[in-house]
Amino acid sequence: MPALRAAEKALQELNRNDIVEVKAMKKPPAGVLLVIESLCVVFDIKPVKEQGPGFGQKVLNYWKPGSQMLADPTAFLDSLMKYDKESITEEMIKKLKKYVTDPNYEPMKILKVFNFIICVVYPLYGCISTTQNQ
């Protein structure tokens, strides 16, 4: 439970301006993209399929639908604060492990990017570790 409490505290430090700053990015850094992608998984937001680097290849773009999630910073913050941690399924945990185990997703590395990101990453770490320990 200490991880979950730390996560909730980190979320409380997040403010509207942090969200606005991230939404305004045209080409967000890798850490921001990872966090937005993981939030899309949490909120079940599907990526946009776009043309990849090679002929016939497709890549998943989470930034477009993810940045739309940030359109109303107040509503987004509210959705994070009121997120039902009990609704996290085993399937979601499996999907989120991809991010939590990525070295670029570590909170201290991402801290260098933005306060927004660190406040989101800590809760995901807390939710996953708390759920796995049950």
pLDDT for 18-75, tens place per residue? Answer: 888 888 888 888 888 888 998 999 899 999 999 988 888 999 999 999 999 999 999 9
> DSSP letter at 26?
S
43 alpha-carbon distance from chain centroid: 9
64 alpha-carbon distance from chain centroid: 14
Please give the share of the chain, as a percent, with pLDDT higher than 70: 75
Measured CA to CA, the distance from residue 61 to residue 46 in angstroms comes to 9
Q: Residue 11: what pLDDT?
A: 77
- Residue ranges making up the domain that contains 21: 2-132
Q: Residue 8: what pLDDT?
A: 74
- pLDDT at residue 114 above 60? no
Q: Which residues pair with 60 in a beta bridge?
A: 49
Q: Residue 67: what pLDDT?
A: 92
| Residue bearing tokens 């945990």 | 93
Q: Residue 104: what pLDDT?
A: 79
Query: What is the phi/psi pair of residue 58, to 5°?
Result: -120, 145
Instruction: Quote the number of domains for the chain.
Output: 1
How confident is the prediction for the chain on average, in pLDDT?
Answer: 80
**Number of DSSP helices (H) and strands (E) in the chain, helices first:** 8, 2
Q: What is the CATH number of the domain that holds 36?
A: 1.20.920.60
Helix ranges, 70-114 (H): 73-81, 90-100, 107-110
Write down the pTM of the prediction.
0.76
Query: What is the phi/psi pair of residue 68, to 5°?
Result: -65, -30
